Chain A
Amino acid sequence: MGYSRFLLKRASQGVVVIWGVVTVVFTLRYITPGSPVTFIAPLDASQALREEIAMEYGLNRPLYVQYIEYVVGLLPPNIDMGQSFAAGTSVSSQVFAALPRSLELAVAATLVAVALSIPLGVISATNRHEPTDYAATTFSLVGISTPNFWLGLMLTLLLAVQFDIFPTGGMARVNGTPLLLVDALRYLLSGRPQVMLRWLSHITLPAVTLGTYFTALVTRLTRSGMLDELGKQYITALRAKGTPETLVRFRHALKNTLVPIVTVLGLQLGTLIGGAVITERVFAWPGLGSLLIDAINARQWVILQGCLVVVGAGFVIVNTVVDAIYAYLNPEVTV
């Protein structure tokens, strides 16, 4: 099978799974106790008022009609997730306002993790059974066992409360609007670096909190992968040939270790999103996770559906892309 056929097959599988995600999300609301009308109507609403509400939101129509309408509405380029019952605002606008804030946090956490874990893993593997190795393995053991919300609070306690280095939470804001990296960069270019610094100081603790688990995990993976590779015969052959040790380690052993790590990171994307939800809660970060939890607490099912569809579809898309990259790097997969 050629690469393009593999891509096509993988992409169509992805579309089917996303459709499944949408269907599951739609079904969830109707198998749960309580009609949506109950949550919109006041407690003492009369039967007539209830019917009126059901009519207004189209909840009195057959389920399959509502389902088809929901699925069709979601299709690009509209991506209409419906109207929120309480505020009457568009769900899509809320979800897509929150999404970049969460993405920014997730990307920052991943950067922290990759920047720290791969050097740590390599140092650990090349200095096996030495104090540095023990320090790195201890760190990764503790890191994968620590709940990130607690870690976030401990970091806040130490670095925001005891030593007033970072703010305790929230996003950096300019005139009340949350500041994204692109905005911060624009301020930086227009000669206001203090805005950039404010952005940096706000994202540091949440990013470290969210990134620690992945730092620990990838350190572990890099270490065991490197140990595996360094024990193989081609490494011995390279060394016998007189290849410099740095080249052996980085050009050969590390490169071969990285491929499986990319796959694991794709699979761990769910953990990253789940971790982001709770990290956002700890640091009052107004992203998708905060939106999702607020939606559940306020029984705003349409917003919850929107968040779940975005999370599920995002997961499928990223994993499809990871598969495509993996197959490109490793042509055996497509055969």
Chain B
Amino acid sequence: MLSPRTWQNLVGELRQSPLAKLGVSLFIVILGMAIFAPFLAPHNPNVQHLDQKLLPPVGLSRVTTTTTTQMVNGSVTTITERTQINATWTYPLGTDPLGRDMLSRVLYGARTSMLVGVLGTALATLIGAPIGLIAGYYGGLVDDTLMRFADIMLAFPSLVLAISLVGLFGRIAVTVPDPWVVFNIASATMPATFTLPGMVILVIGLVNWVWIARVARGEALSIVEAEYIKAARSYGTSDIRIMTRHVLPNALTPILILATILVAANILLESSLAYLGFSGTTLSWGFDISQGQQYLATSWWITTLPGVGIVIAVMGVNLIGDWLRDALDPGIEGESEGGL
């Protein structure tokens, strides 16, 4: 699909741009976490250790005060007891309010983010690219109708539309087996299945296709007037063939660049939905942040750590987007307008 020339541009840009290198490295780290979570995680991220809840990360300790009222020698006394809770290497990054291991949860959270971000964007591209190509290729009434509909969709902010759709249709989740565990490669103590928030993926597709469609349409509009398209038409080549063989390949680069930026936006969208309680899974960075919120004053790590994961993932993908834009599309100067 990619020509040798394209590869050259990509590699050349990667060599000279430290930010592109940083982006690729961050992305590899998060991808590695997502793929190899069952090998890296010290505990099953879903198993609760209620006697070990709210443990601090290694190197820190947490002080709790418990007040008990007792009858001593006929008079009421209040005893305030301060206990220091120390960290243990068993749970390197501490535990959450249910005693689940934070390190394991952060590692597994990468899976949800990556899968939802990538699959949601892929769905948006599958919906948006054909619609945009058709609108741009045929023009006229088809174009007007589709683009007015796109305008209506764009009037709703992604997050608002997404929470409304999830709220209306319900939080549907799909349980998929984890191949590492099913084929006995990873430890059997790790979860054998993984909960994929299917509704979130669907909603991301429905919310984002418009951006892809607009870019595909713009490319189709500019290509359709080219001489070689007219020539192809005069030979009697079918519309579908012209679209898939001639228009689509030319539109691929801008779609790829936009899709990359959308993956970053959708990782943020997924975490926002999970934070607000509109995801179908509880194994998500956004969900952990929301359950840590009420322990912010005493157990800050529950909110802090998953957020670091989100920032790394989004930054990595954003930098890859910049890299692709700089390497593949010298025509675009500066920033892309859409996407978020």
Contacts and interface: CB of A to CB of B under 8 A. Distances in A.
Given A145-B318, A157-B303, A161-B296, A270 B310 contact: no
Interface in A15-48: 16-18, 20-21, 24, 28-29, 32-33
Given A21-B155, A308-B156, 10 more contacts: A17-B148, A20-B149, A141-B318, A149-B289, A150-B310, A153-B293, A161-B296, A277-B160, A281-B276, A315-B157
A277 B163 contact: yes
A316 B159 CA distance: 17
B309 to A, nearest CB: 10
Contacts of A296: 163-164, 167-168, 278
Interface in A137-163: 141-142, 144-147, 149-150, 153-154, 156-157, 161
A304 B164 contact: yes
Contacts of B168: 28-29, 32, 296, 301
A82 to B, nearest CB: 17
A311 B289 contact: no
A270 B335 contact: no
B156 A312 contact: yes
A274 B159 contact: yes
Interface in B319-338: 319, 333-335, 337-338
Contact of B340 (A141, A228, A271): A271
A60 B211 CA distance: 38
A208 interface: no
Interface in A284-335: 292-293, 296-297, 301, 304, 308, 311-313, 315-316
Nearest to B170: A33
A59 to B, nearest CB: 17
B202 to A, nearest CB: 14
A154 B170 CA distance: 30
Contacts of A147: 268, 271-272, 275, 286, 307, 310-311, 314
Interface stretch (A177-185, A187-195, A199-207, A219-227): A219-227
Contact of B159 (A153, A264, A269, A277): A277
A145 B311 contact: yes
Contacts of B276: 278, 281, 293
Interface residues of B, number: 50
B296 A157 contact: yes
B176 to A, nearest CB: 24
Nearest to B153: A24
Contacts of A126: none
Contacts of A277: 157, 159-160, 163
Nearest to A144: B318
A179 B293 CA distance: 25
Contacts of A292: 160, 163-164
Contacts of B146: none
B294 to A, nearest CB: 11
A333 to B, nearest CB: 16
Nearest to B159: A274
A270 B158 contact: yes
A221 B318 contact: no
B157 A311 contact: yes
B164 A149 contact: no
